[in-house]
Each structure stands twice: as C-alpha cells, then as structure tokens.
Structure 1
Amino acid sequence: MVSVRITEADHQRVSGAIAAAEAKSDGEIVTMVTELSDSYHDVALHWAVAVLIAVLAWTAAFPMALQWGYSQLFGGWGVEPGLGALLFFLMVLAVLKFTVVLLVLRYMQLRLTLTPAATKQRRVRRRAISMFKAAAERRTVGRTGILIYLSLGEHRAEIVADEAIHDVTTPETWGEAMAALVAEVKEGRPADGMIAAIGLVGEVLAEHFPRSSTDTNEIPDKLIEL
C-alpha cells in the first residue's frame, strides 16, 4: 500500500486552519490521520474459510473429480483408492488451499481490496469514536469538541462531535466537509483535504457556537498522526 507523506509544512498549514476556524467560534477542532484503522486479519481468515468450504462443496458436487485428481497424482487411471485415502487427500487439499489463501492475503493492499466497503466503514467509524473519546470528548467546558478523523488506506473519514454540537446537528450536516476531505485524499493531498474540511466544519461551529468573550483554546491546534 502506498503511503501518503504528510510534511512538517502540511502540519503547520493544518494548525493554521484550525486556529482560523476556532477564532470564529467556541468550538474546539481536533484532527487525526492514520494509515489504517484496522489490520483486517479477520477478513483474510474469512476468505480462507470460504475457499476451504468451496473445496468441500466442489468435492460433494463432483466426487469423481477428486478420485481423478488422486489417480493422476498417485498412480494413474488403474488405481482405485479407498475411502480413507480419498478423505485424507481431500483434507490435505482443503488445508493446502486454506493456507495458500492466508499467505496470499498477508499482502495488505489485497486484503484491503477484498474487504467489503461496509466493513471498512464500520471499522473506521469505530476507531474514530474510540479516538474521539480519548482526545476530545468532554474535554471542553461547553462540550464543543469535534474530531475530524481521516483513515488514508480506506479513503474514508469520520466526523465525531461532542454533546453540545451533536444536539444541534445531524450526520448530514457534515456531508460537504466529508466530501471535500475524501476528494483531496484520493488525489494524494490529505493535508489540503483536511484544511478544506476544517474550514467547512468551522463555518458550522461559528453558526451554532459563535465565539464568546470567555472562550479559551482548550485543545492544541495540531494534526495528530497515529
């Protein structure tokens, strides 16, 4: 999997965008980027099991093919293998294919490609919520923290908001920001995507939580790489 490099200059640009957005509201924006949100090892296991079951199903549907394969490997057409020999041969064949699939799917990009989109979405969302709880939830006086989370490998992003923001918005509120972020990531410009999303999130925060005279910067304005 190709890694997208985020430079020190990118970090500074994102920090500047956060500061500019927060200058207009009492909201606190946290930004995080990670290469992957999950290892998806279970997906490889599921594919390997599926192949193993497919071997068994194929044998059940075409039992003579198993006998033909055995004969080709161990003695020619005249050999009539017993039931025990055929079952042992089937076991070896199934285990071999199971192992080969697991080894092939050690390649992360292939494993990611074979992971259903819904699974990737759930894993990214789960990781984003976990990171939000650790870094932003209830860490502001007015419960106005918000996380913009980007998972590069899956080309997916999540926005998770604290109580006060959640009460006055819906998931659709962040659609434009999410689209802007993901579009730039697909072009290999994650920092630009993050900056665009920060600006759009900042507009929503400024509308619902305009900056008050008592506002302070409660969370550092920086991009966190996981």
Structure 2
Amino acid sequence: MVISEADHARVTVAVMEAERHTAGEIVTAVAEKSDSYHDAALHWAVLAMLGVPAVLAWRPELAPRIWEGLVESWSPQPAGAPLLVALVGSVLVFLLFRLLFTWQPLRMAMTPGATKTRRVRRQALALFRVGAERRTRGRTGVLIYLSLAEHRAEIIADAAIHDKVPEDVWGEAMAALLGPVRDGRAGDGLVAAIAQVGAVLAEHFPRGENDVNELPDRLIEP
C-alpha cells in the first residue's frame, strides 16, 4: 500500500477545510511501518531451535539414526553423538528460521497483534511529542497517525483537547480511517478521519477571529 501524490494533496485540502471551523490543529502522519520486529523474529527462531532437543528428548532413538545417516555405519558411535546431533540440529534450525524471517511480510504475520499495537502506539507518541505536543498556544494539536504495514492507527490529542474530549469519542474517526485502509484506500481513510476529527474539534474549540495556522497541513511521512 502506498500513499500517492494525489493522496497527499487530498489530505492537505482536508486538513485545511477541517481547520476552517476550529481553533484546533490537525497533524497527519503516515509510516510504512512502526518497527522492524526483528526481536519477534529472534523469538521465533529461538523457539524453533529449542524444539530440536525437545523432539530428541521425546524420541531419543532419533539421534542415533540421524548419526548413522550422516556417518558411515561402520564407524563407532561416540558417547556424545546424541548431544552433537542436538547441537548441530539446533544451530541449523536457528539459522534457517533467521533466514526465513528476513522476509518482512512473514515477520509481520508472525508478530502478535498486541505487540504491533504497542509499537504503533509508541511510535505515534514519539512523533506527537516532536511534532504536535505543546506546539500551539492553546495546546490544541491532534495527531492522526497511520502505520500501513500493521493496519493500525492512533489519534493523540494535546492537553487542552484531552481534558475536554474523552478518548472514546475518537472511535468513529478511527473506524472511518481503518475501514478504507483495510481495502487498500489509505487516502480515503485519512480524509474521512480528518473530517470526523475536525467536527469534534469544531464543537469543543470553535475557530476564533484571530486564529492562525500553527502546525503544518501537509501529510508527514517520517
């Protein structure tokens, strides 16, 4: 899934339109992914590696058979042959899984959903602190953050908005965003979410006569 130049233009227009009616400031950001998830790949590789000695402990007769298949049958089998088979097998399985998990779609598919949710939230908070938090005079900034690979998003509001608007109010905006994203229409989802967020902000923070644009309207791709 990619964000086209046309999507960039549509998002900018949507933010400008939403901010015409509110003193709030909307910041939008889209990331290809929020984490590489190499640690999740490592966990799976270690788990697979530990499966080798577990299988050999369950079926101890396998180790001598494997040894005989690898070494000439007339060669005397050393006492440590089962341990050596387990060690070599564990290393080979670990390396195989590490190689398989260099493919990002597999890492993403095998990473638990709760882990992806936490990583997206962490990345959104970091971006919010840099790009929106306390960057407006009234502390009325809102970040709409979308992470494409995880199909997850976050809406984070600055202090003044957070004090007046419960977090569950953003549920409709999240639904409007993620529905089209799952269909591969990220641009449509962002535009719909911006409209929903703008409506909430206009209700609680109507635009004043001397209001100025304090945060960028363009879509950020960190």
TM-score computed with the length of structure 1 as normaliser = 0.94
Kindly state the Cα deviation for residue 108 of structure 1 after the two structures are TM-superposed.
0.2
Match of 1:32 in 2: 29
Kindly state the Cα deviation for residue 79 of structure 1 after the two structures are TM-superposed.
6.1
Partner SS state of residue 133, structure 2: coil
Match of 1:10 in 2: 7
Question: Which of 66, 71, 75 is the matching residue for 1:69?
Answer: 66
The reply on whether 1:22 has 2:19 as its aligned counterpart is yes
Query: How far apart, CA to CA, are the structure 2 residues paired with 1:81 and 1:6?
Result: 61
Query: After superposition, where does 1:172-211 map in structure 2 within 5 Å?
Result: 172-211=168-207
Query: How many correspondences in the alignment?
Result: 222
Query: How far apart, CA to CA, are the structure 2 residues paired with 1:66 and 1:170?
Result: 61
Question: Which of 190, 210, 215 is the matching residue for 2:211?
Answer: 215
Query: After superposition, where does 1:147-166 map in structure 2 within 5 Å?
Result: 147-166=143-162
Alpha carbon RMSD of aligned pairs, Å?
1.3
Partner SS state of residue 143, structure 2: strand
Q: Is the 8 A contact 2:139 2:161 kept in 1?
A: yes
Query: How far apart, CA to CA, are the structure 2 residues paired with 1:83 and 1:210?
Result: 81
**Runs (4+) off by over 6 Å:** none
For structure 2, list consecutive stretches of 5 or more residues without a partner in the other structure.
none
Partner amino acid for 1:9? A
Query: How far apart, CA to CA, are the structure 2 residues paired with 1:56 and 1:138?
Result: 55
Partner amino acid for 1:93? G
Q: Deviations over 1:102-122 (max 9, x none)?
A: 000000001100000000000
Kindly state the Cα deviation for residue 6 of structure 1 after the two structures are TM-superposed.
2.0
Query: After superposition, where does 1:80-119 map in structure 2 within 5 Å?
Result: 81-119=77-115
Match of 1:56 in 2: 53
Question: Residues 79 and 169 of structure 1: is their aligned pair in 2 closer, same or farther, counting only changes over 3 Å?
Answer: farther
Query: How far apart, CA to CA, are the structure 2 residues paired with 1:70 and 1:169?
Result: 67
The reply on whether 1:124 has 2:120 as its aligned counterpart is yes
For structure 1, list consecutive stretches of 5 or more residues without a partner in the other structure.
none
Partner SS state of residue 63, structure 1: coil
The reply on whether 1:134 has 2:135 as its aligned counterpart is no
Q: Deviations over 1:74-102 (max 9, x none)?
A: 234x7662232221221111000000000
The reply on whether 1:144 has 2:137 as its aligned counterpart is no
Partner amino acid for 1:47? W
Q: Deviations over 1:42-77 (max 9, x none)?
A: 01100000001111211222111112211222234x
Kindly state the Cα deviation for residue 145 of structure 1 after the two structures are TM-superposed.
0.3
* % identical aligned pairs: 53
Q: Is the 8 A contact 2:66 2:85 kept in 1?
A: no
Kindly state the Cα deviation for residue 7 of structure 1 after the two structures are TM-superposed.
2.1
TM-score computed with the length of structure 2 as normaliser = 0.96
Query: How far apart, CA to CA, are the structure 2 residues paired with 1:83 and 1:176?
Result: 67
